[in-house]
Amino acid sequence: MTKFYIIFLMLNLAYFPNYAQDARMDRVAVATLIQDFFDAIHQNDSATLRNLFTKNAFIEAIVSENNIPSKKQEKLSNFIEAVGIPHLQVWDERAGDYTLTLSGDYAVAVIDYSFYLDGKILYCGIDEIELLKTNGGWKIDKITDTRQTTGCSDIPTNSLAEREKLKSDTLSVNAFLNNWHKAAAKADEKVFFDSMDENGIYIGTDSTECWTRKEFYDWAIKYFQRETAWDFTSTSRNIHFSNDGSVAWFNELLNTWMGVCRGSGTLHLGTDGWKIDQYHLAVTVPNDKIKAVIELIK
């Protein structure tokens, strides 16, 4: 392996975490923009709606003439004007299942939607929304939609932006906790202990093991002098968030040298990323074995 290849590889590895973080931020930004689009329709806000599109944006619908499908382009200005005209009936377009794909400054969202008029479904279909990342942020460049009056599903009024943020935050916490466990497996004490808040608590399997981060460091550092401190692998994990997304709590099952263990804890999101406030490790005991275990530890 040449010296220049090694340097190239190191630079790319250093860039990857920032790229992944930027991608998560872009996904949330795109989902927020699309939610703003639906909200503007609901609120008859043509001014906001106009600012969501690029200068050359257009919309089109899939229509069928003599059972032959085709695309019919519609004037964006007419659509925006129609949204802004005061009307007594309430317009409400809701996003259901969706996929979102990003590639650099380009994104495509495919969304199942239902359109409500005064709370009743008028029609439904698929929105395919193409977006570009401009100097002014993400903008909608093209919308293609289908429209049908049968087979429509009722969609709750949940926010597409909040759903994408939850998905993004879940990926972020999963990556953080997996990296924390990996640091112990590689005996990387810096990454492992820096992942805990300075006031963080670690609760071990023994009743005496309730340590501050410093106490835990003093007890565990001898294990980090080896190639592996301990190797715990998460096999399943449940994550929940506070309303503002700044606090997370979780529980997980782990494969360990002790058998299956359960870990649970809380984290908070600071300026330098997620930090562990408390982690609790417990050995799991099958119900039909608990009496034998109780007798063993008497």
Q: Whole domain around residue 277: which residue ranges?
A: 165-297
Strands 247-256 and 259-270 turn out to be antiparallel
Mean pLDDT rounded to a whole number for the chain: 90
Judged by phi (left if over 0) then psi (alpha if -120 to 50, else beta), residue 172 lies in: alpha
- Note the pTM of the prediction, 2 decimals: 0.65
User: 262-280: per-residue pLDDT in tens?
Assistant: 999 999 998 888 999 999 9
Per-residue pLDDT, 2: 56
Token pair belonging to 277: 């406030």
Per-residue pLDDT, 4: 53
User: Are residues 14 and 123 located together in one domain of the fold?
Assistant: yes
User: Are residues 173 and 279 located together in one domain of the fold?
Assistant: yes
User: 13-26: per-residue pLDDT in tens?
Assistant: 444 444 455 677 89
User: 36-90: per-residue pLDDT in tens?
Assistant: 999 999 999 999 999 999 999 999 999 888 788 888 888 999 999 999 998 889 9
Quick check: helix, strand or coil at residue 118?
coil
Per-residue pLDDT, 15: 43
User: Are residues 213 and 68 located together in one domain of the fold?
Assistant: no
Please state the domain count of the chain: 2
What is the distance between the alpha carbons of residues 28 and 17, in angstroms, rounded to a whole number? 17
Does 175 score more than 50 pLDDT? Answer: yes
Per-residue pLDDT, 167: 86
Does 12 score more than 90 pLDDT? Answer: no
Does 205 score more than 60 pLDDT? Answer: yes
User: Are residues 117 and 190 located together in one domain of the fold?
Assistant: no
What is the band of 9 on the pLDDT scale with cuts at 50, 70, 90? Answer: very low
User: 247-260: per-residue pLDDT in tens?
Assistant: 999 999 999 999 99
Token pair belonging to 294: 């109780």
Does 165 score more than 70 pLDDT? Answer: yes
CB 151 within 8 A of CB 144: no
User: Are residues 103 and 186 located together in one domain of the fold?
Assistant: no
How far lies 241's CA from each of 166, 179, 249, 269, in Å? 8, 20, 7, 11
User: Are residues 108 and 243 located together in one domain of the fold?
Assistant: no
What is the distance between the alpha carbons of residues 198 and 200, in angstroms, rounded to a whole number? 5
What is the distance between the alpha carbons of residues 234 and 173, in angstroms, rounded to a whole number? 13
Picking from 240, 250, 256, 243, the residue whose alpha carbon sits closest to that of residue 277 is: 250
CATH of the domain at 217: 3.10.450.50
Does 172 score more than 60 pLDDT? Answer: yes
What is the distance between the alpha carbons of residues 169 and 240, in angstroms, rounded to a whole number? 10
User: Are residues 245 and 268 located together in one domain of the fold?
Assistant: yes
Average pLDDT, stretch 23-34? 88
User: Are residues 169 and 272 located together in one domain of the fold?
Assistant: yes
Amino acid identity at 266: T
Q: End-to-end CA distance of the chain, in Å?
A: 59
Strand partners, 53: 140
User: Are residues 266 and 175 located together in one domain of the fold?
Assistant: yes
% residues pLDDT > 70 (the chain): 93
CB 195 within 8 A of CB 177: no
User: Are residues 147 and 203 located together in one domain of the fold?
Assistant: no
User: Are residues 113 and 236 located together in one domain of the fold?
Assistant: no
The residue among 157, 187, 222 that closes a domain is: 157
